[in-house]
Structure 1
Amino acid sequence: MAEIRERDDAEDLAEGDPAVDEARAHPDVYVVEPLLPQRLRRPSDLLRFMSTLVVLAAVVLISLVAKQTLNGLEADVKEGATLVPDLLSRVATFLGGAAVLIVPVAFAVERVFHRDGLRVAEGLIAAIIGMVGSFLLGQWLIGGSVEDLRMLLTGGRSIEPLNTLLTSVVAYATAVRISRRPTWRMLMWTVIALDIFALFSGRQITLPGAFVPVLVGMAVGYGTLYGVGSPNTRPPGNAVIAALRKLSFSPVSARRIEDDHQGSRRYAIGLKDASRLDVTVLDRDRQVAGLPYRLWRRIRLNSETRRRAIRSLRAELEREALMAYAAQAAGASTPRLLGTSEIGTEAALLAYEHLETRPLDDVPDADIDDALLAQIWEQVELLQIQRLAHRRLTGDSIHLDQAGRVVLTDARSGEIAAGDLLLRLDVAQLLTYLALRVGAERSVRAAAAVMGPDALAAAMPLLQRIALTRETRSALSKDKGALAALREHIVALKPQGKVEEIRLERFRPRTLVTIIASTLAAYFLLSQLSQVNLMRVITTANWAWSGLALVASFVSFVAAALMLRGFVPEHLPLWRTVLVQFAASFVKLVTPAAVGGVAINTRYLQKRGISPALAVASVGASQLGMMVFHIALLLLFAYITGSNTATAFSPSRGLVVVMLAVAVLVVVLFGVPPLRRFITGRMHSLFANVLPRLLDVLQSPRKMIEACVGTLMITIAFVVCLDACVEAFGGEIGFTTVAVVYLTANAIGSAAPTPGGLGAVEGALTLGLTVAGLPAELATSAVLLHRLLTFWLPVLPGWASFTYLQRHEAL
């Protein structure tokens, strides 16, 4: 975190800031600016607070998982402590216990003598919060709310889970920023280490209990600093004037204007010769502003497009200055950079010549003519020739001067010696922005006239939302067809061009959701498995019924192949289509249940020579038919169950409440216009060409029968498999009851974001069978056997089928 450290404000006052001294020596220029706040909530303190919480959570989780390792390590440390001479141990105990209080008091006295009592007050607030918070948290743990965590921090002994003294001392040391004073820092952490050693050797603390209070204290300290704020050390406008005088400028007036998009201060400076300057001030404490978003983009995007998440003040100053000089050398129309300077230790400035301009965002769309579009692209071409990437070609960085000439501003985001990808990203960004202003056709035509069709064809794969600036992505949400229209016009310009697919994202947010959901599902399954003796499940299962369940599982793959063949008017070989269904079972290991099969079947149809639109329509038709049969069978079996076996399957009050909640959710989804439009839009995109495809199927009675038989067989096969698994363990419930349970659980599993509905299907099936009257252990055993036969066992043949089909170019 060396790049985001702020200078100790008390030391600045004691030693004297040259910029402030210079400002006091020339107080003749009045700076028009709002009063700077006396205290600021620094983003760096919030960042440290959040980072400490993450480390704390990681330490607790690792400690809970590695209990045995920690116990062994703790025993080794205790054994090593017994080898320490008794006299040395007593001295360390005395020094640790006494000095852990003496050192903070001595530091407080030293600060008070330097008239920095406010810092001590902040430390006392943090110490009090740390002591009260650790006490309350300890009482909560002692109450037995989280038994594993209590045992981890106490070792089963009658001791404090969180040492209140240690927590409050660390909170105090953090809040007074003792880490910035090397001598005091070394002394403070030495006595804290001695205190931990004394507590540990006296069995008053466990090994995890030594780390957790320290991290909790640091979190409290940083949280207190962010909550109460820190003294504002940003240099005022007078210091900016003093720094400009050092650059041989003669300011006579100064006025603060609107901050730039990164939150940096800007000043309009009038000079003695009647000229003007535009000054940008980079404040050190603003260098980590927006850091979480930048970190997220850095993790999510590949290494060629991402930027450094954190830069020092010096690096940011040099970056912007270098880009400004390079743009001037390239001949681009940009404000000339006239000077740079540090302002004391907390800020730096860049002084640009003042140009009377207005941003393109303020220009009405009707006033953006073809000549102006050509000017914009000519300026971008000058940058591209010199391998300069602007990286923020939006309406607030493209300006027009009084003569109507284009001026590019905001050089800070740019890159020198940029690679091809960054240069193409600039073209894609500008194409999209201008398309949102003047339409896709005019945007492409103007760009092609200057850059050439080849440059647009190279940028076409980068017309992705993730590649654009935040403002452009927001505007695209109101015109979702803009990117597609741009691609169409570029293809019309160069129809024979080879499009190279470029993946900018390492992963998508939905992938992260799937990973988290899969982790939770795996935890749920492991907890289920811990309650069942797998060996007994295998040895006590009736092998005749298990064999029937296995056959039913295999039949489901044949049925899926028949269903797909029925919804495709073109001929599909049966057994190769069966192999495709096995391959889909392999893909379900890494994709949600409703996604993997659709993707594999669509790819298979395309490889068979069916156009992408018709392939998607055929698979969509099969999914629609499956949904209709699913609902119809659920209603049928529910009616039969309610009529004949009401005593065997009487829904509980909780189940009725859940069904009512689902009904209310459906009403809300379709009753709120924005949600209804979202759902219907998604459904329309999925089933847009389904109806014509269904009409093609209806013209062939053989295909229609094949589709209906295959769709019906899938559901019946899975119900038979589950029923056989129940019978294999001696369960006695009706077939129709099992069918209701399966159809309901399958609907839940299809909606789950986990691979193959992992966790959701098991939970729903187990709950349904238990409600139906099966003992919980028997229901769990039957569900595990069913999932073994239908989800896990087909993985190996699915992998073999996937490999075979790829080798023969069928996928």
Structure 2
Amino acid sequence: MGEPRADTDVYVVEPLLPQRLRRPSDLLRFFATLVVLGAVVLLTLVAKQTLIGLEADVKEGAELVPLLSRVAAFLGGAAVLVVPTAFAVERVFHRDGLRVAEGLIAAIVGMAGSFLLGQWLVAGNVEDLRVLLTGNRDIEPLNTLLTSVVAYTTAVRISRRPTWRMLMWTTIALYILAFFSGRQITIPSAIVTVLVGMAIGYATLYGVGSPNTRPPGSAVVAALRKLSFQVVSARRIEDDHQGSRRYAVGLKDGTSLDVTVLDRDRQVAGLPYRLWRRIRLNSETRRRAIRSLRAELEREALMAYAGQAAGASTPRLLGTSEIGTEAALLAYEHIETRPLDEVPDNEIDDALLHQIWEQVELLQIQRLAHRRLTGDGIHLDRAGRVVLTDARSGEIAAGDLLLRIDVAQLLTYLALRVGPERSVRAAAAVMGPDALAAAMPLLQRIALTRETRAAVGKAKKILPGIREQIVALKPQGKVEEVRLERFRPRTLVTIIASALAAYFLLSQLSQVNIYEVVTTANWAWSVLALAASFVSFVAAALMLRGFVPEPLPLWRTVLVQFASSFVKLVAPAAVGGVAINTRYLQKRGISPASAVASVGASQLIMLVFHIALLLLFAYITGSNTATSFTPSRGLVLALLAVAVAVVGVLGVPPLRRMITSRMRRLFGNVLPRLLDVLQSPRKMIEAGAGTLMITMAFVVCLDACVAAFGGSLSFTAVAVVYLTANAIGSAAPTPGGLGAVEGALALGLTVAGLPAELATSAVLLHRLLTFWLPVLPGWASFTYLQRHEAL
């Protein structure tokens, strides 16, 4: 603790404020600049020809007006040094030399960093980027002087001085124009240099910190006195959950205030999380993720006044004020309370639960969403009355969705404390069964606060328990499902993986002449490959029929397999077929549990056949010395790698639990279904033949594609390559294993002894016949089946 500071006769007890702070805003600007830098580099690589043409046009224009180019060169070259120097002198005269020192540090780091990065590019580590930045000329990839000047400009925060900012950036623009017309810099190099300089400037600001501009406690007391409060004591207490400072202030009349101070530098704290929730969660919120100090002050004050007008038990807001330009305060009436988190579970009786719901009902009547109904937002005063705090998180004129989320949040929090039955019973007594039925679709983890989500993750039966209690109260209620997540994290993974796969495929296609692939392929082998691809769909239908005791029409089941090839365009390879087949069986009148069990049984036996065939063909290949593919050592290494991966995954408890739970859900009813199949010899033969035919059809297709281009590999070697690549493709999160399958097949065939060009051609033909060509009939089958209500 530091020494108390005095404001006339009032001492403010608080720790010494640090002289320098690392501002979250600087870190966010640094990462944002890196993101923009990455986007610019990708864009310039894609639009390379356009930039080359633009450079030629600008060069031609500069040659038409040589005098202008010379004037720009003179002004830019001189001013780019004069303007920063003048700004430094001006700051020193105003006794702000520390800011100049920060700028010099950034300039030195910028000069050294751009030089080292340029040398790394010149060494040929990223040849395409080097050519783009230099135009394949003998110039610097990054202009060292410009990088240091931009880093200096950023670090001294010249953007806060409008006149200097305009002068500095005009100078930088003239400098770039001069060097560009003299062919000493390219457009991509200029943009990348500026962004690198800005990133270094922000990194320097965050690394060395910025002067602390937060007003001390004495300034808080002075602002309170301007509001006519007669302050006699003040002390700093624990910050709130958003990191805002709080003070306990004593007044001359014996009452007290709870003062919350909003610091400007804290307004971007937690911004990435807020942005992520705003993008991912469809909650109809009207709050902006990036909030100004003034807007934050007005929002909290408005919510506090609205809560008081609604008759809810909340601390009274007695005054607000800005403290200079860097902070603002809100002064609340002090009430001796303790948060509900500190109340033991056995003290939370039914009367207290009713009180809590009555307060929430008052807010809901006036369309006020609290947004933080947790143990630290609900307090009890000395008389045991409920007090709702934390008005800053709330919203006025809230929509139905936000109000229902409040109910779902409070139901879940109280259920964690007293159990689902008591939580739902107390809520129903106050809010009514209809309100609970409306909130039931919102009982999703994504809708809850961060702390409650973490607690629900440990108590997985809480949400199902609440739903059961609500259904017991209102069994006839039917409420539409509400999707709060705009997307799931796995969707982002799929999109990124698909983009990488597309890039991989495009790079492959750039090395292969598609016209030659089509025209030079042996048509006899190509027709055989096409026939094998068609057989695989018939085999898949036979396999499914074999694992379903109920009768299924053969050709309609074949159409379902074609439809699954269409679904693979938007779903991972291991997901699309399972979902389509399960839906098809349910439409045939088979119960959901039996449908899932049948598809799960087919997948399990398919996995067993896959592993058995892989081991069989690997053994045959390794023992055959005549073949050019001798993977005995490679096979051992591959098996060891797979074993290590399996042991590693199973050795991590969260991953092991996730895998076992999913396997249990998928295969939990498989054994009874297999017993049903074993009772019918015809079904056993149909299931086994179909399972074996699927794999063999794809192997024959790949073998025929290799032969179509004159390749010579043993059938067993091709089988090992296909079975291995298919396993990799099934695990990939991309639609249909896109990218992963092609890469694994091409690599496997190359290792087996085929030339890289021939292997790539064979793989592209194989994927054309088995993945792309079935899409059109798959779409037609999907549409036909939906029209006839078979899907």
Report what 1:14 is aligned to.
Answer: none
Displacement after TM superposition at 1:695 (Å): 2.1
Aligned counterpart in structure 2 of residue 684 of structure 1, from 648, 661, 664: 664
Q: Could you say which residue in structure 1 is the equivalent of 2:30?
A: 49
Q: 1: distance between equivalents of 2:626 and 2:216?
A: 80
Match of 1:313 among 284, 293, 308: 293
Letter in 2 for 1:75: A
Partner of 2:263: 283
Match of 1:549 among 511, 518, 529: 529
Q: How far has the Cα of 1:724 moved from its partner?
A: 1.4
The amino acid that maps onto 1:298 is R
Q: What are structure 1's unaligned runs of at least 5 residues?
A: 1-22
In the alignment, which residue of structure 2 is the partner of 1:34? 15
Q: TM-score, normalised by structure 2?
A: 0.97
Could you tell me how far apart the structure 1 residues matched to 2:684 and 2:414 are? 50
Q: Rate the CA distance shift 1:671–1:54 in 2: closer, same or farther, 3 A.
A: closer
Q: What does 1:528-547 correspond to in 2, within 5 Å? A: 528-547=508-527
CA contact (8 A) 2:369 2:403 kept: yes
Map 1:93-104 → 2, pairs under 5 A: 93-104=73-84
Q: What is the Cα deviation at residue 390 of structure 1?
A: 0.6
User: Could you say if the C-alpha distance between residues 309 and 673 of structure 1 is closer, same or farther in structure 2, counting changes exceeding 3 Å?
Assistant: closer
| CA distance 1:326–1:121, change in 2 (3 Å) | same
Aligned partners of 2:160, 2:554: CA distance in 1, in Å?
Answer: 74
* CA offset digits 1:608-664 (Å, max 9, x no partner): 222222222221111111111111221222222223356432127566434322211
Q: Where does residue 63 of structure 2 map in the other structure?
A: 82
Cα pair 1:652 1:771 within 8 Å, conserved: no
Q: Is 2:221–2:231's contact at 8 Å kept on the other side of the alignment?
A: yes
Mapped partners of 2:714, 2:69: distance in 1: 73
User: Equivalent residue for 1:9?
Assistant: none
Partner of 2:44: 63
TM superposition shift of 1:347: 0.6
**Structure 1 residues 53-91: Cα deviation after superposition (integer angstroms, max 9, x where no partner):** 1111111111111111001111111122223252x4333
- Residues 257-276 of structure 1, C-alpha deviation per residue, up to 9 Å, x if partnerless? 11111110111111111111
Deviates more, 1:555-564 or 1:111-120: 555-564
- The reply to whether residue 300 of structure 1 matches residue 269 of structure 2 is no
Give the Cα separation in 2 of the matches to 1:104 and 1:656. 64
Contact 2:154–2:202 at 8 Å: present in 1 too?
yes
Q: Tell me, what secondary structure is at the counterpart of 2:560?
A: helix
Deviation at 1:770, TM superposition (A): 1.8
The answer as to 2:268 corresponding to 1:261 is no
Kindly state the Cα deviation for residue 548 of structure 1 after the two structures are TM-superposed.
1.3
1:349 and 1:129 map into 2 onto residues whose CA distance is: 39
Distance 1:649 1:543, change over 3 A: same
Aligned partners of 1:637 and 1:653: how far apart in 2?
15
Aligned residue runs from structure 1 range 567-586, under 5 A: 567-586=547-566
Give the total of aligned pairs: 788
- Deviations, residues 467-511 of structure 1 (Å, cap 9, x unaligned): 111111111111112212222222222222113111111111101
Alignment of 1:614-763 (within 5 A): 614-645=594-625, 647-651=627-631, 656-763=636-743
> 2:426 aligns to what?
446
SS in 1 for 2:10: coil
Given residue 153 of structure 2, which amino acid in structure 1 is its aligned partner?
Answer: A
Asked whether the equivalents of residues 128 and 168 of structure 1 are also in contact (C-alpha less than 8 Å), the reply is: yes
2:779 is the alignment partner of 1:799: yes
Q: Which moved more, 1:735-744 or 1:785-794?
A: 735-744
Bigger mean CA offset, 33-42 vs 45-54: 45-54
CA pair 739-263 structure 1, distance change in 2 beyond 3 A: same
Question: 1:378: Cα distance to partner?
Answer: 1.1
Q: Is contact 2:10–2:231 with CA below 8 Å preserved after alignment?
A: yes
- Give 3-state SS (helix, strand or coil) of 2:458's partner: coil
Aligned equivalents of 2:413, 2:140: Cα separation in 1: 60
CA–CA distance in structure 2, aligned partners of residues 707 and 178 of structure 1: 74
Check if 1:610 corresponds to 2:610.
no
Q: Gaps (5+ residues) in structure 2?
A: none
Q: Is the 8 Å Cα contact of residues 305 and 421 (structure 1) preserved in structure 2?
A: no
For 2:351 and 2:18, the matched residues in 1 are separated by 47
In the alignment, does 2:358 pair up with 1:383? no
Judged with a 3 Å threshold, the aligned counterparts in structure 2 of structure 1 residues 89 and 709 are, in CA distance, closer, same or farther, namely closer
Partner-residue secondary structure (3-state), 1:273: coil
Residues 725, 786 of structure 1: 8 Å contact kept = yes
- Distance in 1, matches of 2:587 and 2:423, equals 36
DSSP 3-state at the match of 1:477: helix
1:241 maps to 2:226: no
Partner of 1:587: 567
Contact 2:59 2:181 in 1 (8 A): yes
Aligned sequence identity (%):
88
Report SS of the residue matched to 1:267: strand
Distance 1:645 1:497, change over 3 A: farther
Aligned pair partner of 1:184 in 156, 159, 164:
164
Q: Secondary structure at the match of 1:255?
A: strand
**Alpha carbons of 1:672 and 1:114: their partners in 2 closer, same or farther (altered >3 Å)?**
closer
The Cα shift of 1:429 comes to 0.8
- How far residue 380 of structure 1 moved from its aligned partner, in angstroms, is 0.8
2:235–2:249 CA contact under 8 A, matched in 1:
yes
Counterpart contact for 1:298–1:306, Cα < 8 Å: no
Instruction: Write the mapping of 1:88-487 to structure 2, written as runs, cut at 5 A.
Output: 88-302=68-282, 304-305=284-285, 307-487=287-467
User: CA 1:669/1:303 → structure 2, altered by over 3 Å: closer, same or farther?
Assistant: closer
| Corresponding position of 1:516 | 496
Contact kept, 8 Å, 1:518 with 1:754, in 2: the verdict is yes
Supply the distance in 2 between the matched residues of 1:183 and 1:721 (Cα, whole angstroms).
71
AA at the equivalent of 1:287? Q
Per the alignment, in what secondary structure is the counterpart of residue 328 of structure 2? Answer: strand
Q: 1:783 aligns with which of 763, 766, 785?
A: 763
TM-score w.r.t. length of structure 1: 0.95
1:768 Cα deviation (Å)?
Answer: 1.6
| 3-state SS in 2 of match to 1:352 | strand
For 2:595 and 2:236, the matched residues in 1 are separated by: 61
CA distance in 2, matches of 1:571, 1:468: 46
Q: What SS class does the counterpart of residue 30 from structure 1 fall into?
A: strand
Secondary structure, aligned partner of 2:318: strand
SS where residue 249 of structure 2 aligns?
strand
Give distance in 2, aligned partners of 1:589 and 1:780: 21
Q: Specify whether residues 671 and 201 from structure 1 end up closer, same or farther in structure 2 by C-alpha distance, changes over 3 A only.
A: closer
> For 1:640 and 1:210, how far apart are their aligned partners in 2?
60
SS of equivalent residue, structure 1 residue 211? helix
What is the deviation of 1:737?
A: 1.8
